[in-house]
Amino acid sequence: MDKKNVPELFGSLVFDDRVMRARLSAEVYASLRKTIDENVRLNNDVAEAVAAEMRDWAVEHGATHFTHWFQPLTGVTAEKHDSFISPSPDGGVIMEFSGKELIKGEPDASSFPSGGIRATFEARGYTAWDPTSYAFIKDHTLCIPTAFCSYSGEALDKKTPLLRSMQALNRQAKRILKLFGTDAEYVRTSVGPEQEYFLIDEEMYEKRPDLVYTGRTLFGAMPPKGQELDDHYFGVIKPRVTEFMEDLNDELWKLGILAKTEHNEVAPAQHELAPIYTTTNVATDNNQLTMEIMQKVARRHGLVCLLHEKPFAGVNGSGKHNNWSIATDKGVNLLSPGETPYENAQFLLFLCAILQAVDDYQDLLRLSVATAGNDHRLGANEAPPAIISVFLGDELTAILNAIKTDTPYEGKEKVVMKLGVHALPRFSRDTTDRNRTSPFAFTGNKFEFRSLGSSNSIACCNMMLNAAVAESLSQYADRLEAAQDFEAELHDLIKEVIAAHERILFDGNGYGEEWVKEATEVRGLSNLKTTADAMPHLLDEKNAKMLIEHKVFTKTELESRCEIMLENYVKTVNIEGHTMVDMVRRNYLPAIEDYLFSIAQATAMMQKVSKNVKCQFEISTIERLSELTDKILERVEDLEAALQTLKQCDDITESSCLVRDEVIPKMEHLRIYVDEAEMRTGENYWPFPSYGKLLFSVH
């Protein structure tokens, strides 16, 4: 297919609405559409009809197998492939796919993280078709997006609680809209996740054990040039990267993924891809696919796509900005202020619901983005701080202040931008600036949650955000439905919420130390710096109560997720620690010794020639490198001891604290000495590609 024909290319490997409308009978299509749009239970006869057409369509497009594609608690996707073939009486085969195979699968659940829900010998698990996310073809396999649960019914994936949270928000938002005289069939959240990533040369990647095992460099001295000149950001895209991006777009567009924007990011070798908004659960599926395909396409071009939040110390890490909004089935964006937001009571109430949700459940939002990798980013003057706050901008802040104080709001006139050159067009300036240091910023008709790490599934933060907003709306609906005077009660409610939750509003510099002090000591906001600090708050009474009441999680599911996420944190850092030990003992120390030996030999030979030869460089290098090898040995033994203590710890909460307080500081201390040794050792002796080669080798 001609890749320039984008409309024809787009969605060509997706069993989407266009395909369903063309291939299904009117009755079957209408019934399936009702399931997708209104959450109505799927009829078995409809499932059989859909399965038959889905199979025929997939086979016509070269598919030979099908799989229930799901998202277990590993953070990546999973799939078990079955062929369409069944034996026929004449000894041949026929291509079959039943409604039962479409709606239910039975993968082995024993080897996926379950947090104690399932014992190793209890293997049965189920996958259930999610008809709200379209099936697609990948690598000659029909992939059916599904939920994943245990034999006893607990969710073992990220899709199920996300769908539950969307259902909870829909239920409460419709109650509010009804009070304003709007009957909506459904209310859904939409997301557009911006994805940052690094591209490095594949050959160099293969020579770095730390990148291969952990996804990030555990050692590495900074090169003379980093990102100081800001010349990479939005710069001309290099030919090799352009070829990768073109190939990536083709693959994503075939799968109906709305890849829209691509550019160079701040750090050398760093880039970004941004899609157009779509329904949250579909956006989540699409983002998981995007990360997989980025890595696959990169290899075709002799590159490796790094999705770790901090693959290189000293330059910007990679995040994922979660642009979140709410809309009705009629396409009405409930976060659009309109021309006169001061008079838009419905908008103001939904805005208040979000402010209250973020304030009441700031710990849930923080822990929803907590990983070992993301701990390196948050608060590092390149990403929002670990403190959650909301940025609204000048206009909305002024409106809320006017409501709180019962004073008239005088709207600002549009400012026309004049650039001093007649040939350049004039345009109206936006009513508010942007704040890149804010973790949760209003950007016109949506909120941008900027704290996610680049490898995070967006399901986690969106399920927490949906549930927290649903809780606010539920409280408002209870109060307003019982009101004698709706208008007066609405005014009082909005005014009270603003006064109660204004502490979460902050328009200043989130990177400043003064903000940390003000946020924690004056405003009483939480500052959960690490995963070990944040994750246990999932089980706080207020959080568990809210999530259980809105049926997003059961108590058992919450307990299991807390254990799984802490366990993942511990295992991740444990692998990093052992990788550091391995690299130091097997590579770095021998390399430094080889260099020392060569210099010592050269020094001895030169001093034999003449006693007047001072050998200042050689002797000072020998002395410092000898000191460094002693320090490195001392620090690697400290790290080994901490890792041994960690191995003997049985309690996961204690283990996570041990990682935070002992293992990570010892890793950082060891790195300091190794990185200095790199700067003093001859390049030809150093065993691994340097930062300079890794960051500047792709042309």
- List the end-to-end C-alpha distance of the chain, in Å, as a whole number: 28
Letter for the amino acid at 396?
Answer: L
What pairing do the DSSP bridges indicate for beta strands 270-275 and 259-264? antiparallel
Query: 356 in helix, strand or coil?
Result: helix
Which residues in the chain show pLDDT less than 50? 1, 417, 427-429
Rounded to whole angstroms, the Cα distance separating 472 from 435 reads: 25
pLDDT at 394: 84
- Report residue 126: phi and psi, to 5°: -130, 145
Which stretch of DSSP H or E encloses residue 146? strand 141-150
Within 8 A by CB and 6+ apart from 605, the residues are: none
Secondary structure of 543-561 in the HEC alphabet? HHHHHHHCCCCCHHHHHHH
Q: Is the dihedral of CA 146, 152, 158, 161 positive or negative?
A: positive
Q: How many residues does the chain have?
A: 699
Cα distances (angstroms) measured from residue 159 to each of 130, 145, 254, 291, 294: 9, 9, 23, 17, 21
Rounded to whole angstroms, the Cα distance separating 85 from 103 reads: 18
pLDDT at 427: 41
pLDDT at 421: 56
Tokens read off for 102: 């479409």
pLDDT at 406: 79
Q: Is the dihedral of CA 414, 418, 424, 430 positive or negative?
A: negative
Residue 329 per-residue DSSP state? T
Residue 505 per-residue DSSP state? B
The DSSP code sequence of 621-690 is HHHHHHHHHHHHHHHHHHHHHHHHHHHT---HHHHHHHIIIIIHHHHHHHHHHHHHHHHHS-GGG-SS--
Rounded to whole angstroms, the Cα distance separating 493 from 573 reads: 47
pLDDT at 1: 44
Cα distances (angstroms) measured from residue 479 to each of 63, 443, 493: 54, 29, 9
Q: Helices in 301-448 by DSSP H: which ranges?
A: 345-360, 362-367, 394-405
Write down the residue that tokens 């709606």 correspond to: 103
pTM above 0.85, yes or no: yes
pLDDT at 208: 98
